[in-house]
């Protein structure tokens, strides 16, 4: 894989659907000018100078009507393309001439109140209770009875909300006698109908509630069973929110509940309304119990909340997307135009069927779907939902005239027998191709050559209507999803994993004082850069070198629009969401591509561009190293040496990159280029402890990973062979093959409270496993006092205690670098104890100061052994096979560990015979 490709793939995440030829799409993208603005709802900035109007004002193409922004060059290129296609001109749209004199569009802000608590309540009791508020602490079990417009509740902190609801507690929550308890009727729903064998429920069916403690999804689950003696039919479950409080009442206080079905569900898997009451007599001591009263108050509260704010039978994935949209609109209204806000808000008012169908198709690969083959049990009328979504602009339907690219994608939906049927209609020759793509190419060729112009009509008549998500809907929902998760790797499935407790996210407070995107222009620039990144990735995948070159050129142009001052002034970790950051990744991948093509002069130009634009960036080490290497490739060793020497003066060049530059200087800086030996030459003369191990090889071929017969006679790699050696003849060591993994585990556990401490702007999404600034210098700087105080405790010998407490309280919770399954608590405790507090404190400080540069390249093995009285020693071993050598990053780690007092060693495995112990 080319250098930077994997990072670019993670940045892009789920690819957006791009219609048309990639090079045409690329040419249609407007150039980005730093500081351009498009006023949207919430913008309060003044008009820019008339010289920048052409880059900030949205202008519609007079031919196709597409809204664009940017300079004349991009608009003219788009206009030329439209004129070539021969489309009729739309005279109602603004012309390019009018653009020169158009005032900037302004809109009044009509954003609703900033009420987080209100919109969470709208989602009903099953919505994720996560409230983002920089002024309030989070309360996991908080349920709020506020409408969206209720200003009095929206700005209250948790204590005030609790006080408010002491006076507004639902009827039945303050019971005083057992008679009141037994007479109280609760109305709720049966959910989880998919797990029921009995699909039909009639009005008046008697039911009972039974605990299901062995349920792997929810330990508080409560089953709804038939009340008929000996029947035992399972009708479904009580909702998770209600079970959370009913379950301990049934288990601890021996209460029992029965009831009946009050109405039939809309469909067999829909929620079933029921009415239940308590049967078991309750003693006065039970009712007077503070625990009982608290649980019962919560039961009544959840039931009443469902009445006042019903979810109308919403599925969980519906609730999740609606919650996502509401949060994005609340926090980022300034990034959307009035029309875009209206479009997103209209989704919340769609029918259940429409919302469900849209989400179903949005989550699928697509982009086109065959309507006649779609079937979802929770969607009652797919045809009506499709029609409504099409009328509201969320869907686009196939027609008798479709663009060529859409026709290709529609044909790709069909199975081979269907394609052969169409092929026989178009071309009745025998011995036609049987490969799907060949048949599609033949059909498209016939349509394009006007041999079969009615092909789209035949498709609709034979196979029905095909549907795809509209470009507007796809773009806006992609943007909302990106703003919510702040990355391209997560999507709505993150909600599912959290709901099913497959992934448990850590607890932290979101304290936001700065916006990720300051204005709409920054966000649009970022989106366009991501689109260029996607085209770059697709082009490399398709080996389209022409489009790759265009992406590189456009990314270089994008970087040239960002001044050095602008890059330096941005907060380091927030700059990850800038267009310049995305373009730098595209350019880096382009450099790797050019070097593979031996186009070193072009690569040198791009490397100089990156180094001139990003003056404060930890990636400068790799860029400088590549620049020095490429200069040597083109026969300019003196210039290569100067670049390497200047690189050592750069404080942003660290770790292995710094060592690699020093090595290049020693090699290139010989007389007559340089007569004086640099002082750092002693670094490479430092003696590393080495042990030589001989093994019986399985293969000796170059380019293949070395395999050996182990001491037990089984096949193994060099690391396993080394572990066997150290556990026997090497000194009775215990150990694991870890590389950086075990140390990142230890760092994450020891520094857990520091990592998830309250720092502004580093947590902006509920689905983060680390703060945004962990890989930057800002992590240590903004927490320096806390970190140093914590490291003193580690140095004083409290590391094992901290490790155990962190493991027990956070086990299973996702955290960057922490793998709960790879290393046991027993092994981690042994390593921490044997390494010692002083070495651990130095290692944790080093990672805290520069996690991004030092989170890889650590020694392969961690070994330990105890000497009695709970004291021991540890050793870190880098294992190298017959043809391997230490990388600069590995050597940098070994030198650092030696300076910190670690016992380090390099184990070199050779082929010559079997080691004789």
CA distances from 486 to 34, 92, 131, 567, 771 (A): 22, 38, 17, 20, 12
H/E stretch holding 834 reads helix 825-835
583-631 residue pLDDT tens: 999 999 999 999 999 999 999 999 999 999 998 889 999 999 999 999 9
Measured CA to CA in angstroms, residue 824 lies from 727, 745, 804, 831, 861 at distances of: 19, 10, 11, 11, 16
3 state DSSP class of 911: coil
Does residue 54 surpass a pLDDT of 70?
no
Please say if the pLDDT value at position 309 is more than 70. no
Lowest mean pLDDT among 101-110, 792-801, 818-827: 101-110
Instruction: Give yes or no for residue 722 having a pLDDT over 60.
Output: yes
Whether the pLDDT of residue 644 is over 90: the answer is yes
DSSP lists the bridge partners of residue 737 as 861
Residue 88 vs residue 827, higher pLDDT: 827
Average pLDDT (721-728) is 90
Token pair listed for 309: 């704010």
Helices 741-750 & 799-810, crossing angle to 10 degrees? 90
| 145 three-class SS | coil
Per-residue model confidence (pLDDT) at position 34:
41
Residue 105 confidence class, pLDDT cut points 50, 70, 90: very low
* Percentage, residues of the chain above pLDDT 90: 43
- Number of Cβ within 10 Å of residue 734's Cβ equals 17
Q: Contact 903/873 with Cβ under 8 angstroms?
A: yes
Q: Looking at residue 898, what is its pLDDT?
A: 93
Contact predicate 208/256, CB 8 Å: yes
Q: How far is CA 556 from CA 56, 346, 527, 579, 622, in A?
A: 21, 39, 16, 12, 18
Mean pLDDT of 139-144: 31
Tell me what the mean pLDDT of segment 736-754 comes to.
94
Of 114-128, 312-326, 535-549, 709-723, give the lowest mean pLDDT range: 114-128
Nearest by Cα to 293 from 185, 404, 173: 173
Q: What is the pLDDT of residue 432?
A: 63
Bridge-partner residues for 690, per DSSP?
A: 906
Taking all residues of the chain, what is their mean pLDDT, rounded to a whole number? 80
Residue 72 pLDDT grade (very low, low, confident, very high; cuts 50, 70, 90): low
Any idea which of 359-363, 570-574, 652-656, 810-814 has the lowest mean pLDDT? 570-574
Closest to 738 in 3D by CA, of 863, 838, 636, 605: 863
What's the burial of 208, exposed, middle or buried (CB within 10 Å: 0-12/13-18/19+)? Answer: middle
98 pLDDT band, cuts 50/70/90, is very low
pLDDT at 44: 44
Taking the C-alpha atoms of residue 61 and residue 79, their distance in angstroms, rounded to an integer, is 7
Q: What is the largest CA-CA distance in the chain?
A: 102
Count how many Cα atoms sit within 13 Å of the Cα of residue 568 in the half-sphere of its side chain.
9
In SS3 terms, 36-105 reads as CCCCCCCCCCCCCCHHHHHHHCCEECCCCCCEECCCHHHHHHHHHHHHHHCCCCCCCCCCHHHHCCCCCC
Please give the structure tokens belonging to residue 95: 């012309």
Residue 262: alpha-carbon gap to chain centroid: 43
Range 482-489 average pLDDT: 92
Between 746 and 126, the higher pLDDT residue = 746
Is the pLDDT higher at 729 or at 342?
342
Domains within the chain, CATH numbers bracketed: 5-16+496-683 (1.25.40), 178-308 (3.30.70.2330), 316-485 (no CATH), 690-911 (no CATH)
Query: Does the structure show a pLDDT above 50 at 893?
Result: yes
Q: Which residues contact 230 (CB under 8 A, 6 or more apart)?
A: none
Q: Compute the radius of gyration of the chain from its Cα atoms.
A: 33
Q: For position 65, what pLDDT does the model report?
A: 65
- Give the list of residues 6+ apart from residue 801 with CB closer than 8 angstroms, or none: none
Check if the beta carbon of residue 306 is closer than 8 Å to that of residue 189.
yes
The C-alpha atoms of residue 758 and residue 755 are separated, in whole angstroms, by 9
646-662 pLDDT, tens digit each: 999 999 999 999 999 99
Instruction: Name the percent of the chain lying above pLDDT 70.
Output: 76
SS (H, E, C) 417-472: HHHHHHHHHHCCCCCCCCCHHHHHHHHHHHHHCCCCCCHHHHHHHHHCCEEEECHH
pLDDT value, residue 324: 94
Mean pLDDT of 53-73: 54
Give the CA distances from residue 735 to residues 498, 520, 754, 803, 892, in Å, rounded to whole numbers and listed in that order. 34, 54, 28, 19, 23
CA atoms within 13 A on the CB side of 715: 5
CA–CA separation, 195 vs 236, rounded Å?
Answer: 6
CA distance 740 to 862: 10
End-to-end CA distance of the chain: 41
**pLDDT tens for each residue of 391-403:** 999 999 988 888 8
Q: Is 400 left (phi over 0), alpha (psi -120 to 50) or beta?
A: alpha
- State the pLDDT at residue 403: 85
Q: Which residue has the higher pLDDT, 50 or 700?
A: 700
- Of 80 and 591, the one with more pLDDT: 591
pLDDT in tens, 176-223: 666 667 677 888 888 877 666 666 677 888 888 888 888 877 888 888
Instruction: Identify whether the C-beta of residue 715 lies closer than 8 Å to the C-beta of residue 697.
Output: no
Band of the pLDDT at 332, cuts 50, 70, 90? very high
Q: What is the three-class DSSP state of 868?
A: strand
- The model's confidence at residue 473, banded by pLDDT at 50, 70 and 90, is very high
Dihedral sign (CA 303, 304, 305, 309): positive
Confidence grade of residue 568 (pLDDT, cut at 50, 70, 90):
very low
* Average of per-residue pLDDT across 414-434: 77
DSSP structural state of residue 359: H
295 pLDDT above the threshold of 60: yes
pLDDT tens digits along 534-553: 999 999 998 889 999 999 99
Residue 656's nearest CA partner among 674, 694, 683 is 683
Mean pLDDT of 69-74: 51
Q: For residue 111, what are the CA distances in angstroms to 452, 514, 881? A: 52, 19, 64
Q: What is the DSSP string of 152-204?
A: HHHT--HHHHHHHHHSSPPTTTT--SHHHHHH-EEEEEEE-GGG-S-----TT
Q: How sure is the predictor about 251, in pLDDT bands with cuts at 50, 70 and 90?
A: confident
Interval 246-254 mean pLDDT: 85
């Amino acid at each position: 894989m080319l250098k930077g490709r994997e990072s670019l793939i993670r940045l892009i995440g789920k690819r957006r659907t791009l219609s048309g030829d990639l090079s045409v799409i690329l040419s249609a993208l407007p150039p980005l000018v730093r500081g351009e603005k498009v006023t949207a709802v919430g913008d309060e900035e003044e008009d820019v100078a008339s010289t920048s109007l052409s880059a900030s004002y949205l202008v519609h193409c007079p031919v196709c009507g597409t809204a664009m922004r940017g300079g004349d060059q991009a608009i003219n290129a788009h206009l030329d393309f439209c004129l070539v296609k021969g489309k009729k001109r739309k005279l109602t749209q603004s012309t390019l001439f009018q653009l020169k004199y158009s005032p900037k569009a302004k809109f009044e802000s009509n954003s609703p109140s900033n009420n987080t608590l209100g919109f969470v309540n709208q989602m009903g009791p099953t919505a994720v209770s996560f409230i983002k508020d920089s002024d309030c602490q989070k309360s996991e079990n908080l349920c709020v009875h506020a409408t969206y417009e209720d200003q009095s509740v929206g700005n209250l902190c948790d204590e005030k909300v609790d006080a408010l609801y002491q006076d507004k507690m639902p009827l039945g929550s303050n019971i005083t006698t057992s008679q009141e308890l037994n007479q109280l009727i609760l109305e709720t729903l049966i959910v989880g109908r998919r797990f029921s064998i009995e699909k039909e429920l009639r009005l008046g069916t008697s039911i009972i509630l039974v605990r299901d403690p062995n349920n792997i999804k929810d330990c508080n689950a409560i089953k709804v069973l038939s009340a008929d003696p000996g029947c035992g039919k399972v009708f479904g479950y009580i909702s998770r929110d209600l079970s959370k409080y009913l379950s301990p009442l049934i288990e601890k206080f021996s209460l029992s509940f029965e009831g009946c079905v009050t109405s039939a569900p809309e469909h067999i898997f829909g929620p079933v309304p029921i009415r239940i009451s308590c049967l078991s007599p309750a003693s006065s001591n039970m009712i007077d119990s503070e625990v009982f009263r608290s649980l019962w108050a919560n039961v009544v509260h959840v039931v009443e909340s469902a009445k006042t704010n019903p979810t109308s039978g919403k599925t969980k994935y519906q609730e999740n997307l609606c919650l996502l949209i509401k949060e994005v609109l609340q926090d980022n209204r300034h990034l959307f135009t009035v029309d875009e806000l209206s479009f997103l808000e209209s989704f919340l008012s769609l029918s259940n069927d429409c919302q469900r169908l849209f989400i179903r198709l949005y989550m699928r690969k697509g982009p086109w779907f065959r309507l006649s083959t779609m079937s979802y049990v929770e969607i009652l009328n797919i045809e009506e939902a499709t029609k409504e979504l099409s009328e509201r602009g969320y869907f686009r339907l196939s027609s008798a005239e479709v663009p060529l690219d859409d026709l290709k994608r529609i044909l790709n939906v069909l199975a081979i027998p269907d394609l052969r049927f169409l092929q026989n209609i178009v071309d009745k020759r025998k011995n036609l191709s049987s490969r799907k793509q060949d048949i599609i190419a033949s059909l498209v060729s016939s349509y394009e050559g006007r041999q079969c112009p009615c092909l789209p009509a035949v498709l609709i008549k034979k196979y029905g209507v095909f549907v795809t998500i509209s470009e507007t809907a796809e773009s806006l929902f992609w943007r909302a999803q990106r703003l919510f998760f702040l990355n391209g790797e997560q999507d709505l499935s993150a909600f599912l994993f959290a709901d099913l407790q497959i992934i448990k996210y850590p607890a932290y407070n979101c304290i936001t004082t700065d916006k990720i995107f300051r204005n709409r222009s920054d966000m649009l620039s970022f989106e366009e850069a991501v689109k260029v990144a996607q085209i770059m990735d697709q082009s490399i995948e398709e080996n389209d070198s022409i489009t790759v070159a265009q992406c590189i050129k456009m990314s270089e142009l994008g970087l040239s629009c960002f001044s050095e001052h602008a890059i330096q002034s941005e907060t380091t970790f927030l700059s990850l969401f800038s267009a310049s950051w995305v373009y730098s990744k595209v350019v880096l991948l382009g450099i790797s591509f050019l070097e593979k093509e031996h186009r070193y002069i072009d690569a040198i130009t791009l490397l100089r561009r990156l180094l001139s634009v990003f003056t404060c960036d930890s990636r400068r080490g790799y860029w400088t190293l590549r620049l020095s290497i490429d200069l040597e490739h083109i026969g300019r060793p003196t210039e290569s040496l100067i670049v390497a020497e200047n690189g050592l003066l750069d404080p942003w060049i660290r770790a292995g990159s710094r060592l690699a530059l020093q090595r290049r200087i020693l090699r290139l800086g010989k007389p007559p280029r340089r007569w004086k030996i640099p002082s750092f030459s002693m670094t490479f003369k430092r003696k590393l402890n080495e042990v030589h191990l001989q093994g019986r090889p399985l293969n000796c071929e170059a380019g293949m990973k070395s395999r050996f017969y182990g001491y037990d006679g089984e096949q193994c790699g060099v690391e396993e062979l080394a572990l066997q050696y150290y556990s026997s003849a090497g000194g009775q060591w215990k150990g694991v093959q870890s590389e950086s993994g075990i140390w990142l585990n230890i760092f994450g556990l020891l520094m857990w409270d520091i990592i998830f401490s309250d720092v502004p702007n580093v947590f902006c999404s509920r689905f983060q496993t680390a703060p945004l600034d962990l890989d930057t210098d800002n992590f240590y700087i903004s927490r320096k006092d806390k970190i140093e105080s914590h490291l003193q405790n580690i140095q004083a010998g409290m590391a094992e205690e901290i490790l155990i407490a962190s493991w027990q309280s956070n086990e299973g919770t996702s955290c960057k670098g922490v793998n709960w399954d790879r290393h046991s608590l027993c092994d981690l405790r042994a390593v921490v104890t044997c390494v010692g507090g002083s070495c651990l404190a130095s290692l944790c400080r080093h990672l805290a100061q520069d996690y991004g540069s030092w989170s890889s390249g650590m020694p392969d093995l961690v070994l330990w052994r105890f000497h009695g009285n709970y004291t021991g020693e540890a050793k870190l071993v880098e294992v190298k096979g017959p043809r391997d050598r230490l990388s600069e990053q590995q050597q940098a780690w070994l030198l650092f560990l030696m300076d910190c007092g670690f016992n380090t060693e390099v184990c070199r495995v050779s082929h010559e015979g079997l080691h004789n112990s």
